[in-house]
Amino acid sequence: MIQPGLARISRLLEHSSLPWRAVHVAGTNGKGSVCAYVSAMLHAANIKTGRFTSPHLIDRWDSVTIEEKTIDESKFRKAEDAVKLRDSSGDIRASEFELLTATAFELFTQEKVQVGVIEVGVGGRHDATNIVQHPLVTVITKIGRDHQPLLGTSIEEIANHKAGIMKPGAACIVDATNSDSVLQVLGATAREVGAEPFHRSPSDSGQESADLQKYLPKSDLEPHQRINLGLAYRAALIAAQQMAPAVSSRALLEGARESVWPGRLQTLDIRALTGRGEPVILDGAHNTQSAEVLGIYINERVRTKTGPITWIMAASLGKDLRELLSHLFQSHDNIVAVEFGPVDGMPWVLPVNAESILEVARSLGVDGLLENAGKDVLRSLQLAAKTATGDPIVICGSLYLVSDVLRLLRDIG
């Protein structure tokens, strides 16, 4: 389970050297994408870079990358075993996420990275990753309502938790499209702790947008992706200027071209699993804000005038299903509800019952075909392929469902 607070992670790492510098990223949506962009840019600038993101995509160790490659499983397990031994011998009783964070940080040191790009787990202020004390730069992406039992019910309370990663003397970049009340909280915290300079992106000067247009003029990015890329570019530029001052803007943005972040508007071939020739869309949208963005994309780019969307949906227990699904479903759509499998290293994460998704769909007026695939993700894909024929299929609702689908594809070869 999630156990906020820095006491246990501090004990796990109290005798560890963490000589690398950090780019620390918090937010509700987009923080994983920002981390992927930043690490790709710094790597392109010949700065040895590690990245720690969660949850993992397919295997637990893919939370850690070194120089844009997943850490070797044997190295991960060796570091993890050492951390777990430290935990048990010291009777620390660290959570699974704290053990994972400590393992990632130890690997950064062992691999001699110069910069660690770190995604916050939950919140920020009391998150295990906030053991980092002297970041090169902090980034706060779009903030919405998620994890309310831990972070509070108001958007301002949640913003206060995210703002907790700011550090004295370290630049902070925030998504300027956040609400005024969120920006006020972030700005006040920056002044209080002395986090400076404090940047909003996109900025009034428009410099990031000008550079992005100059070097990536033909990039087919959605508005939220472009905002995340702008945040990442500003963060990478600030970090690179401290680590390798001669690095050019162009080198960083060339690195952005190589960035890969699966499970976000990803086009996927499921022919090997279902026989379907047409690609499907795989997206990890799992809260109201990300579902709204996905819904707009589907309605503008994917929907046809006649054919419905067939959705394969799963969700984590505790999500507001009605608010989440109302941004996605239309009356004539088809729904295949499924439950994702056990999450390695995160036993507290449970799926909502598939029938609950269908009940909400009915209450929203969906009158297409509604199928319950239970706990069988492969069957959900096969049912959707049979139902949709050639019409669009979208798989979403949970990053853990994304993981299950990608794992099925990997295992089938």
Q: What's residue 217's pLDDT?
A: 62
Q: What's residue 146's pLDDT?
A: 73
Q: What's residue 342's pLDDT?
A: 94
Q: Compute the average pLDDT of residues 192-220.
A: 78
Backbone φ, ψ for residue 55 (5° rounding): -70, 170
Q: If DSSP codes are grouped into helix, strand and coil, which group holds residue 164?
A: helix
Q: Compute the average pLDDT of residues 233-249.
A: 93
Q: Among the residues of 132-247, which ranges form H helices?
A: 148-151, 155-162, 180-193, 207-215, 223-243
* Rounded distance between C-alpha atoms, residue 276 and residue 110, angstroms: 45
Contacts of 81 (CB under 8 A, 6+ apart): none
Helix (H) or strand (E) holding 360: helix 354-363
* Rounded distance between C-alpha atoms, residue 355 and residue 349, angstroms: 18
Q: What's residue 153's pLDDT?
A: 79
Cis upstream peptide for 197 (omega within 30°)? yes
- The tokens of 247 are what? 């690095």
Question: How many other CB atoms are there within 10 angstroms of residue 15's CB atom?
Answer: 7
Cis upstream peptide for 202 (omega within 30°)? yes
pLDDT digits (tens, 9 = 90+) for 80-98: 999 999 999 999 999 999 9
* Rounded distance between C-alpha atoms, residue 160 and residue 148, angstroms: 13
CA distances from 284 to 51, 57, 130, 222, 293 (A): 19, 11, 25, 15, 11
Q: What's residue 218's pLDDT?
A: 57
Between residues 413 and 68, which one has the greater pLDDT?
68
Q: What's residue 355's pLDDT?
A: 97
Q: What's residue 394's pLDDT?
A: 97
Q: CA angle, 217 as apex, 214 and 223 as ends, to 5°?
A: 110
Question: What's the pLDDT band for 313 if we cut at 50, 70, 90?
Answer: very high
**Maximum pairwise Cα distance, the chain:** 63
Type of residue numbered 24: H
pLDDT digits (tens, 9 = 90+) for 96-150: 999 999 999 999 999 999 999 999 999 899 999 999 999 999 999 999 877 666 7
Contacts of 53 (CB under 8 A, 6+ apart): 32, 35, 36, 63, 119
The structure's pTM equals: 0.91
Q: CA angle, 262 as apex, 128 and 364 as ends, to 5°?
A: 90
Q: What's residue 347's pLDDT?
A: 86
Q: If DSSP codes are grouped into helix, strand and coil, which group holds residue 277?
A: coil
pLDDT digits (tens, 9 = 90+) for 319-349: 899 999 999 999 999 999 999 999 988 888 9
Q: What's residue 219's pLDDT?
A: 63
What is the percent of the chain with per-residue pLDDT over 70, rounded to a whole number?
A: 96
Q: If DSSP codes are grouped into helix, strand and coil, which group holds residue 320?
A: coil
pLDDT digits (tens, 9 = 90+) for 244-297: 989 988 889 889 887 878 888 999 999 999 999 999 999 999 889 899 999 999
Question: How many other CB atoms are there within 10 angstroms of residue 241's CB atom?
Answer: 14
- What residues pair up with 116 in beta bridges, in sequence order? 22, 50
Question: What's the pLDDT band for 221 if we cut at 50, 70, 90?
Answer: confident
Single out the residue of 327, 338, 333 nearest to residue 288, CA to CA.
327
Q: What's residue 334's pLDDT?
A: 97
Backbone φ, ψ for residue 301 (5° rounding): -110, -25
Q: If DSSP codes are grouped into helix, strand and coil, which group holds residue 249?
A: helix
Cis upstream peptide for 55 (omega within 30°)? yes
Between residues 309 and 5, which one has the greater pLDDT?
309
Contact by Cβ (8 Å): 230, 209: yes
- The tokens of 219 are what? 């990039």
| pLDDT for residue 3 is more than 80 | no
Between residues 368 and 206, which one has the greater pLDDT?
368
